[in-house]
Amino acid sequence: MNSKKTSPVLIVNLATQFGGAEIRVIELAGALKSRIPFSIAVLKSSPLHHRLVSNHIPVIPFSYKRADPRLLIALIRTIVRGGYEVVDAHNPQSQLWGLLAGKLAGAQLLVSTVHSSYKDTERGIKRFLYERVLIVNKFFHCHFITVSVSVTSYLRNLGIKNEFIHLIHNAIHLKNNTTDQNSLELLRDTFGWNKSCFVVIVVARLEPVKGIDFLIEAIKIVSKNKPWIRCLIVGTGRLKKSLELQVNSRDLNEYVRFAGFRSDILHLLSASDAFCLPSLSEGLPYALLEACSCKLPVLATKVGGMAECLTHNETAILTPPGDPYALAAGLAELMDNPDKAKKLGESAYRFVADRFSFDMMVQKTLDVYNIHAMD
């Protein structure tokens, strides 16, 4: 299929926080700029809005809150006036308002990009509502893009037919990043850590599904025998205060630092010794791919896309979810075996370079956008 025939596309991401879905939108938009006409609908002054503007990507900001029904009217007007024939929505609120607006405005193709299994990431009424949104998308005859096999299986279990599901893994531009000794020293100086510290970094939203509380418990276990362990937690979210209280109650203030939201993730990764993602459920997180691009040894839980793509003791150390003792053992193994840690990082880099082609991600997405134009 010829991507030049693709109709104008409106990508909708009404996120209030910044995570993997937003990174995918930015990466994809950067590649689409020279290929097709498109814009991205966002919430005004959101982290995504600021990042898109700084990257000179066409953006349409809305001032309404996500629960405001006027957002639907504004999206309908935007689609009609812009002549957008394809609407691609990237989170539950976007999949509700954006695709409903696309349906009412007569868009030719509706796409629901699903980054995780809501049955694993949400609980109670929120899970019920989010899954109902996907069911509504199904009745709109949407096509679904998934980022991992586990998310694909999840949609099948919701009754969505295979022919409407397109597995397109996350991907990033890989560079031959290596640990920068000057950056390493600067990072440790910033947080009051000396050169002998072993820094493990986690980049994630501070939400229950990310399992960061289990990593903090693991740090407590490891610190008893290896007091040079340090942990840098990068991200924001609802659990920030409770995680800070946990660190304080465990007397880990010397060992754990919260960096908040940062735009220099690759710099922080390249200045760390290991990467950990202790999630209880995952699609295929961009933070993991970014860590692999820096050749960091990875300690992750055996869930979702991470379990599908990583191999224990070959490209990562994998542990069961929700097990701080297993995480502690993994950290100790990386600290005690620097040669193994280095080989894990190099193997993960090669695996991601071979398996997750950025150009392929872009072309497969364009192929989905072109479905309605096929004879």
- Domains of the chain, with CATH numbers? 3-171+357-373 (3.40.50.2000), 181-355 (3.40.50.2000)
What confidence score (pLDDT) does residue 307 get?
85
CA within 13 Å, CB half, 174: 23
Which tens digits make up the pLDDT trace of 236-294? 999 999 999 999 999 999 999 999 988 888 888 888 999 999 999 887 788 898 899 88
Which tens digits make up the pLDDT trace of 82-135? 999 999 999 999 999 999 999 999 999 999 999 989 888 888 898 999 999 999
Total length of the chain? 375
- Share of residues in the chain with pLDDT > 90 (%): 71
What confidence score (pLDDT) does residue 372 get?
61
Asked whether residue 1 carries a pLDDT value surpassing 60, the answer given is no
Average pLDDT over residues 320-326: 97
Which tens digits make up the pLDDT trace of 183-195? 667 767 888 888 7
- Share of residues in the chain with pLDDT > 70 (%): 94
Which tens digits make up the pLDDT trace of 270-286? 889 999 999 998 877 88
Which tens digits make up the pLDDT trace of 45-80? 999 999 999 999 999 999 999 889 999 999 999 999
